[in-house]
């Protein structure tokens, strides 16, 4: 993908650094980063900070056209990234409510995760999409989701080498299915690309980055934060469990929304696949991944629950953003 346009002083400085060859003078990004964080009113909605973090993380996935791959492990960039990560971790731990009184045992953790993610009545993006979203809005949903879904499963895959035994096998079992069981045509990111093309959208990785708002970037950034740090392996497991547990039923509704607009099975296949697949994945993720991990490493109990609760919190923040924009009859995307 192309290096995104800056959205403020910090992302300007970082994209300028990345446009230069590795080995040159970087300058100290820390003071600029501190200033950006101090001035931030709402970190999750801060375009400059979230885009900067997104760009820093993307170096670890697919990189950018014309950007030296060696920037990935630049100590200067990593030092600045650390400051943003600390602020983000603080922001989340101040706001995310973690369930208490859960025993550090496999069944208890699975039960707590299913309770935390239990379906709730009331307004949701999925219900809105099923019943009311316009054609423009359902296409917009795909654009919003494309930031993650075109690299679906990748952030959680980072945790595989950090686990052992049953939780590791469980994560591999889920991820193998996410990657189509080894069939490139069945990889979930590829199914999503087909859905995008079915809706006459550009399925090229990063094609819509300029239009993606900070809150959406924040959701993906948190997955990368958890995935790239071994110390957050518990949160990755919890995040994945919550993600899978809140997928089957909403995906049925997303599919309904697209069918309502006359899209055929080739376009809705991504959603149909997730109705079935995630009913499997949630069972494995709850018990054999998250539950068994806590059984194995009881000190990870809090992180597992925090990861799950964070997934739900971000889902809510992004959901509110989408529904309030659509409710007001405006686009949820950025107009650059």
Partner 1 sequence: MTTDDRPSDRRPVRTPSIVACPDGPILVRGDVTLVDDSGRAIPRRRSTVALCRCGASAIKPYCDGTHKAIGFTAP
Binding site for partner 1 (CB under 8 A): 107, 110-111, 114, 118-119, 173, 176-177, 180-186, 247-249, 252, 273, 275-280, 282-284, 287
Cβ proximity to Fe ion, 17 vs 314, nearer residue: 314
To 5 degrees, how large is the angle CA 88–CA 90–CA 92? 70
Size of the chain, expressed as the number of residues it contains: 336
CB of 88 to partner 1, least distance (A): 31
- Considering only residues 53-72, where is the footprint of Fe ion by CB under 5 A? none
- Considering only residues 280-309, where is the footprint of Fe ion by CB under 5 A? 281
Cβ proximity to partner 1, 234 vs 291, nearer residue: 291
String of contacts with Fe ion for each residue 228-267, x by CB under 5 A? ----------------x-----------------------
Report the partner that residue 279 touches, choosing among Fe ion, partner 1, none (CB closer than 5 to 8 A by kind): partner 1
Report the partner that residue 27 touches, choosing among Fe ion, partner 1, none (CB closer than 5 to 8 A by kind): none
278 binds Fe ion (CB under 5 A): yes
What is d(CA 211, CA 41) in angstroms, rounded to the nearest whole number? 21
3-state class (DSSP) for residue 46: coil
CB of 260 to Fe ion, least distance (A): 23
Tell me the CA distances in angstroms from 229 to 32, 57, 155, 175, 318, one per residue in order.
Answer: 24, 12, 11, 18, 24
String of contacts with Fe ion for each residue 104-133, x by CB under 5 A? ------------------------------
Q: Which of 106, 145, 188, 287 binds Fe ion (CB under 5 A)?
A: 188
Helix, strand, coil percentages, rounded to 5, for the chain? 70, 0, 30
What is d(CA 192, CA 197) in angstroms, rounded to the nearest whole number? 9
- Please classify residue 61 by burial: count the beta carbons closer than 10 Å to its beta carbon, then call 0-12 exposed, 13-18 middle and 19+ buried: middle
- Tell me, rounded to whole angstroms, the distance of Cα 326 from its chain centroid: 22
What is d(CA 193, CA 142) in angstroms, rounded to the nearest whole number? 10
Report the partner that residue 99 touches, choosing among partner 1, Fe ion, none (CB closer than 5 to 8 A by kind): none
Cβ proximity to partner 1, 53 vs 170, nearer residue: 170
- Nearest by Cα to 215 from 91, 38, 42, 32: 42
168 binds Fe ion (CB under 5 A): no
Cβ proximity to partner 1, 186 vs 261, nearer residue: 186
Six token digits for residue 293: 């991990």
Residues that bind Fe ion (CB under 5 A): 178, 188, 244, 278, 281
């Amino acid at each position: 993908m192309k290096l995104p346009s800056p959205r403020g002083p910090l992302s300007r400085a970082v994209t300028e650094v990345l446009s230069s060859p590795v080995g040159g003078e970087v300058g100290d990004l820390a003071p600029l980063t501190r200033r950006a964080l101090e001035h931030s009113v709402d970190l999750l909605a801060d375009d400059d900070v979230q885009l900067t973090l997104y760009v820093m993380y993307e170096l670890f996935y697919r990189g950018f056209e014309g950007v030296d791959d060696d920037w990935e492990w630049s100590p200067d960039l990593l030092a600045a990234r650390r400051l943003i990560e600390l602020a983000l971790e603080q922001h989340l731990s101040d706001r995310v409510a973690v369930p208490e009184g859960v025993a550090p045992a496999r069944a208890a953790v699975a039960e707590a995760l299913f309770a935390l993610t239990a379906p709730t009545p009331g307004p949701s993006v999925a219900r809105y999409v099923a019943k009311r979203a316009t054609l423009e809005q359902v296409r917009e949903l795909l654009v919003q989701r494309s930031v993650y879904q075109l690299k679906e499963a990748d952030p959680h895959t980072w945790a595989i080498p950090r686990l052992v035994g049953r939780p590791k096998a469980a994560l591999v079992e889920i991820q193998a299915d996410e990657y189509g069981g080894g069939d490139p045509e069945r990889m979930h990111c590829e199914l999503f690309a087909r859905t995008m093309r079915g809706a006459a959208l550009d399925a090229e990785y990063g094609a819509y980055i300029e239009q993606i708002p900070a809150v959406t970037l924040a959701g993906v950034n948190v997955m990368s934060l958890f995935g790239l740090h071994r110390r957050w392996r518990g949160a990755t497991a919890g995040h994945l469990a919550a993600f899978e547990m809140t997928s089957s039923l909403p995906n049925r509704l997303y599919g309904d929304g697209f069918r309502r607009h006359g899209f055929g099975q080739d376009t809705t296949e991504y959603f149909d696949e997730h109705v079935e697949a995630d009913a499997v994945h949630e069972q494995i993720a709850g018990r054999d991944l998250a539950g068994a991990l806590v059984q194995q490493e009881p000190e990870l109990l809090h992180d597992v629950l925090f990861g799950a609760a964070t997934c739900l919190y971000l889902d809510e923040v992004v959901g509110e953003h989408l529904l309030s924009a659509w409710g007001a009859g405006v686009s949820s995307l950025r107009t650059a």
